[in-house]
A and B are shown apart, each in its own frame.
Chain A
Amino acid sequence: MRKFVDLHLCPSIENLDQVENMVKKSSELGYHIVGISLPPDIKRDEISQLQKICRDSKTDLVTRVDFTPKTRRELLNNLRRFRRRFEVISVICTSKTIARQAAKDRRVDILSFPSTDPRGRFFDDAEAELASKALSSFEIDITLLLSSKGFSRVRLLSCLRKEVAIAKKFRVPVVISSGATCEHLMRGPHDYASLAFLFNVTPSLALRALSEDPLAMVERNRGKLSPDYVVEGVRIIRRKNDCLDV
């Protein structure tokens, strides 16, 4: 059975009732793994609380942080400080310089472009080529589509169509997530797949963007964050006490 992933829930972390309701709703809608956008300075016991909420709803929590850096240096500093604390790192690209730096840095998992204005979106061929080499994914938040109307939605759909074609050309994984701030903006994975039809994503590709692609990213990062990880392709399988005497 396919495991569906919604990597971007944005409840208010202070309001634990809202978090609980949204996680419960995710589970009802058929998601097995949910990513909650967390503040970088969150404490360990707050994360444990969220993990408990998710466990009670039979979902798996992915810790995620979204950075909106203004300069290249700020991005690099954030990555250095927080990479090992969160399972998924997303960069909200508000300028071309940031977008390029984020795309070529292997510590960035997700590139996000929240603007509905084509001039505020920087996912072009050059960006996709860098992202493809660095294994970053291109994220599409469906909330942006649901909450926009009229001409702004027309522009957004046109941009998404172009960007999805570029992502396909350079084999950049596409991740479709909700970006929901409340329960009313949450939909099931098959509903998201049908919304992806609006920007020329086939149902099979859309379902992959809701399951296999984000799942691969989460598993890869969990492997890297595990204490047994040494470098790519090398990990500890047994420690001193577990080894047999030879």
Chain B
Amino acid sequence: MRRRYLALRVVSEQPVSQRDITSAFWNTLLQLFGEYGASQVGFGLIDYNPQKGEAIVRCSHKALEMVRASIASITEINEKPATLHVIGVSGTLRALRKKALS
């Protein structure tokens, strides 16, 4: 299965854990695309640096638009205003790290 890797910047007033990001993403994805859509996404959080507020997630290349739309729709994490910005997308982790997180 071809994948896409996305680098994200997490902007929040309070500290956010890896689990918070994952659950906020799944909640939004389920709201927007339902269980059928969510089953096609192949989402996974690969890396998260809470100090820098940067995360790397993975998804199926066919579901990239769904994932990007879900990420952009997140307006709160733990009932506090928060935003996730996609800062780069790539087909390999190495290229993503070079392009977006260097």
Contact = CB atoms under 8 A, between A and B. Distances in A.
A146 B65 contact: no
Given A146-B75, A147-B75, A198-B32, A187 B83 contact: yes
Interface in B66-97: 66, 68-69, 71-73, 75, 81-83, 85-86
Chain B's interface size range is 10 to 19
Given A146-B75, A147-B75, A194 B85 contact: no
A192 B81 contact: no
A181 B20 CA distance: 25
A239 interface: no
The B interface is mostly helix, strand or loop, or mixed, namely helix
A191 B75 contact: no
B82 A184 contact: yes
Interface residues of A, number: 20
A195 interface: yes
Nearest to B12: A184
A149 B75 CA distance: 11
Given A147-B75, A198-B32, A187 B69 contact: no
Nearest to B87: A188
A29 interface: yes
Given A197-B65, A198-B32, A191 B82 contact: no
Contact of A194 (B31, B69, B75, B82): B69
Interface string B11-46: 100000000000000000001100000000000000
Most chain B beta-carbon neighbours within 10 Å: one of A29, A149, A192, A197: A197
Nearest to A146: B75
A203 B69 CA distance: 12
A145 B32 CA distance: 11
B78 to A, nearest CB: 14
Nearest to B32: A198
Contact of B86 (A186, A190, A197, A198): A190
A185 interface: yes
Contacts of A190: 68, 86
A6 B71 CA distance: 20
Contact of B68 (A145, A149, A184, A194): A194
A44 to B, nearest CB: 35
Interface string A185-221: 1111011101101100001000000000000000000
A29 B81 contact: no
Interface of A: 29, 145-147, 149, 182-188, 190-192, 194-195, 197-198, 203
Given A184-B81, A194-B71, A194-B86, 11 more contacts: A147-B75, A149-B31, A184-B75, A186-B83, A187-B83, A188-B86, A195-B72, A195-B73, A197-B66, A197-B69, A198-B69
